[in-house]
Amino acid sequence: METIMLYEPREDSYLLEKQVSRFAFGNVLDIGTGTGIQALAAANSRHVRSVQAVDINPASIDYCKKTIHHPKILFKKSDLFDSVSNEFDTIIFNPPYLPSDPNEPQESALATSGGKHGYEIMERFFTQVKEYLDDNGMILFLISSLTNPVKVESIMIDHGFTFKRVAKQKVSFEELYVYTAEKNPIIKRLKGIKNINFLAKGHRGIVYSGTYKGKDIAIKVDLNPGAVSRVDMESRWLKILNKKKIGPKMLHSGKDFLIMEYIDGEKLFDYVQHSNKNQIRHVIQDIFRQCYEMDLLQINKEEMHHPVKHILITTDGARMIDFERCRKTLDPKNVTQFCQFLTSGSFAYGLENKGLIINKRILKFAQKYKHDPSRKNFDTILEEI
Ligand SMILES: C[S@@+](CC[C@H](N)C(=O)[O-])C[C@H]1O[C@@H](n2cnc3c(N)ncnc32)[C@H](O)[C@@H]1O
């Protein structure tokens, strides 16, 4: 095997080194140590107890072992965290951060190319790092304007980190940025939850999946705690709706987070595609039952005219999700809006393909129900399915 080149310290190394001296503490892991520059800066801080320094390049580990003899530092070959088992207070990474360049020789690409777009290695790093970072620990890393910092920032959010840019420097055709990142304080508070992974992002919150006491759960976290919390509102609605067997079962909630049962289901459109007429009819009736219950409670879900993302079909039936837009009203529209949806464009077409033709007169019955939301008027609607 040809020897892979060692990365001689450059502007990026020196910029990060300064921040390492400033921030590193406790037990430190330096990933992609190269010539060991960050490991040494950390070891020389009186706030640092020990340093493990790893690199995927065996030439780097050989070089460091020969040239650096510091009682606090241990050098080891590792592809990111592959040969690492502890938890650390500080994790340092000056990664290969440039988009790959087909003209770059292989011997140097390992130290410079972060993947096709440059950020792929950071994506891998953030997928794994939380298992190795103490809850009160800090990540210190560097990227460049060429790495797509907006993308890297969104990767951090997705994996439950908050971050700050703590230093920058213009270097000819690019700008270098040093970031600190920490576990999101809300997620840190949720003790006992394992396997936290990003699931979805909305305007106001992020949903993570996880496991708690062996059960699959979903965690909704407010992105802007402090403002009127939508997540808090949703917990209040769920408390009421769960009594009617509507919505994911709520397990625990706080001002800025909500832990609930994870609903493993299929979107309505997908379900219709592979199900037969009777199965679909059953699901639609189940959704109507929930709409009616919500109408009785005078709670409007606000999105039943187009609920494609908000209903999941499971083996237990139709399950509604996302109640953050709910509001109390004297004029609830869940049933009538769902009637509109059933007769509208592509969904009605999909039902027709399965031989389930919903006569447009359902809209007339919906009108009647709107003026008099009685059980009798609701049943007339159900009979149309
Ligand atoms: C930009 S250099 C930084 C070197 C040194 N830390 C510094 O600041 O000068 C990136 C280093 O990451 C190493 N590296 C690349 N991919 C890696 C991986 N998957 N796991 C560990 N190290 C890796 C390279 O071998 C290289 O030494």
How does the average pLDDT of the chain come out, rounded? 93
Cα separations (Å) of 104 from 6, 143, 144, 282, 329?
15, 19, 18, 60, 64
State which fold the 266-382 domain adopts: Transferase(Phosphotransferase); domain 1 (1.10.510)
Task: Provide mean pLDDT across the span 253-282.
Answer: 93
pLDDT, tens only, 365-380: 999 999 999 999 999 9
pLDDT, tens only, 290-312: 999 999 999 999 989 999 889 99
Which residues make beta-bridge pairs with 327?
A: 300
Which residues make beta-bridge pairs with 91?
A: 29, 139
Task: Provide mean pLDDT across the span 1-6.
Answer: 68
For CA atoms 333, 338, 340, 341, the dihedral sign is: positive
Q: Structural domain boundaries of the chain?
A: 11-183, 188-261, 266-382
pLDDT at 246 over 80: yes
% of the chain residues with pLDDT over 70: 98
CATH of domain 188-261: 3.30.200.20
CA 187 – CA 219 distance, rounded (Å): 9
State which fold the 11-183 domain adopts: Rossmann fold (3.40.50)
pLDDT at 222: 85
Tell which atom from ligand 1 comes closest to the C-alpha of 13: 8
Q: Would the CATH topology of 11-183 be identical to that of 188-261?
A: no
Task: Provide mean pLDDT across the span 28-42.
Answer: 98
pLDDT at 245: 95
pLDDT at 225: 63
pLDDT, tens only, 197-230: 888 887 778 899 999 888 999 999 887 766 677 8
Closest CA to 76 of 50, 54, 92: 54
Task: Provide mean pLDDT across the span 338-353.
Answer: 90
Q: Hey, which of 4, 75, 110, 143 would you mutate to test ligand 1's pocket, going by the most ligand atoms within 8 Å of its Cβ?
A: 110
CA of 113 to the centre of ligand 1 (A): 10
Give the strand order in the sheet containing 317-320.
266-267, 311-314, 317-320
pLDDT at 1 over 70: no
Ligand 1 pocket, CB under 6 A: 7, 9, 13, 16, 31-34, 37-38, 54-57, 60, 79-80, 94-96, 110-111
Query: Contact 380/374 with Cβ under 8 angstroms?
Result: no
Query: Cβ-count burial of 320 within 10 angstroms (0-12 exposed, 13-18 middle, 19+ buried)?
Result: buried
Q: Specify the residue with its C-alpha closest to ligand 1, atom 19.
A: 79
User: 247 vs 228, which has greater pLDDT?
Assistant: 247
CA of 56 to the centre of ligand 1 (A): 7
pLDDT at 186 over 80: no
